[in-house]
């Protein structure tokens, strides 16, 4: 998806971009409902067709969680995609649907910025330190305030404060049904 967005920079309406985000959120809701954590959600792992339908792919890092809504998958070793990964997953290698929600916020940012690299040229270490200090990515140019607010909600430090994928899908459905709410841009 990120290469597709870069190639078509500025060619889509906000509502088309929201439709893409909705498809991704719907796929993640399904995974979450089935008890899976993806662990590598990023625009590079989203497939998009000519109708702008987006599908979550690359399940190489996905794992099953126990039947506990607070379940987390803990791993040792292996590389972590720092720019897309929640702080607790980086620090303690604890992955959950809430850490996938953090990653989804980064994917939202990638979509709304037409495939820009999250945190630009910052080193991974600088990304980690900046997030610990409370830094969050600013709204991409032309991004409606409501979408940036959802990103910020996904990037809550406390994982229990992040939205569930069912909430994200409902929110995006409301925006699609009432596009006039998208007109307020971030100042």
Active site residues: 40
Number of domains in the chain: 1
Residue 21 lies in a domain: yes
User: Which of residues 78 and 50 earns the better pLDDT score?
Assistant: 50
Phi and psi, residue 6, nearest 5°: -60, -40
Per-residue pLDDT band for 187 (boundaries 50, 70, 90) equals: very low
**Each residue of 41-72: pLDDT tens digit?**
999 999 999 999 999 997 655 555 555 555 55
Instruction: Give the pairing type, strands 46-48 and 94-95.
Output: unpaired
Q: Which two tokens stand for residue 28?
A: 């993640």
Residue 187 lies in a domain: no
Residue 117 lies in a domain: yes
**Each residue of 127-170: pLDDT tens digit?**
999 999 999 999 999 999 999 999 999 999 999 999 999 999 99
* H runs (alpha helix) in the chain: 2-7, 14-33, 87-92, 97-112, 124-132, 145-154, 165-177
Determine the structural domain holding residue 135 and report its residue range: 1-64+75-176
Residue 69 lies in a domain: no
Q: Which of 81, 104, 105, 101 is nearest to 93 (CA)?
A: 81
Q: What is the CATH number of the domain that holds 44?
A: 1.10.510.10
The pTM of this model reads: 0.91
Which pLDDT value is given to residue 175? 94
Residue 29 has pLDDT above 50, yes or no: yes
């Amino acid at each position: 998806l990120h290469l597709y967005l870069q190639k078509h920079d500025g060619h889509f309406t906000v509502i088309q971009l929201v439709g893409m985000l909705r498809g991704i959120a719907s796929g993640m809701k399904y995974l979450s409902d089935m008890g899976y954590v993806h662990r590598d959600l990023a625009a590079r792992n989203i497939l998009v067709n000519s109708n702008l339908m987006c599908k979550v792919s690359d399940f190489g890092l996905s794992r099953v969680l126990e039947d506990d809504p607070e379940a987390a998958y803990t791993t040792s070793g292996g590389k972590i995609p720092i720019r897309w990964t929640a702080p607790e997953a980086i620090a303690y290698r604890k992955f959950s649907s809430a850490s996938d929600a953090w990653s989804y916020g980064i994917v939202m940012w990638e979509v709304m910025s037409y495939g820009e690299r999250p945190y630009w040229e910052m080193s991974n270490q600088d990304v980690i330190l900046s997030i610990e200090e409370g830094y969050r990515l600013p709204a991409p140019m032309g991004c409606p305030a409501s979408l940036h607010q959802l990103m910020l909600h996904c990037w809550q430090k406390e994982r229990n404060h992040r939205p569930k994928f069912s909430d994200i899908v409902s929110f995006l459905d409301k925006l699609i049904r009432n596009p006039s709410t998208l007109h307020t841009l971030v100042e």
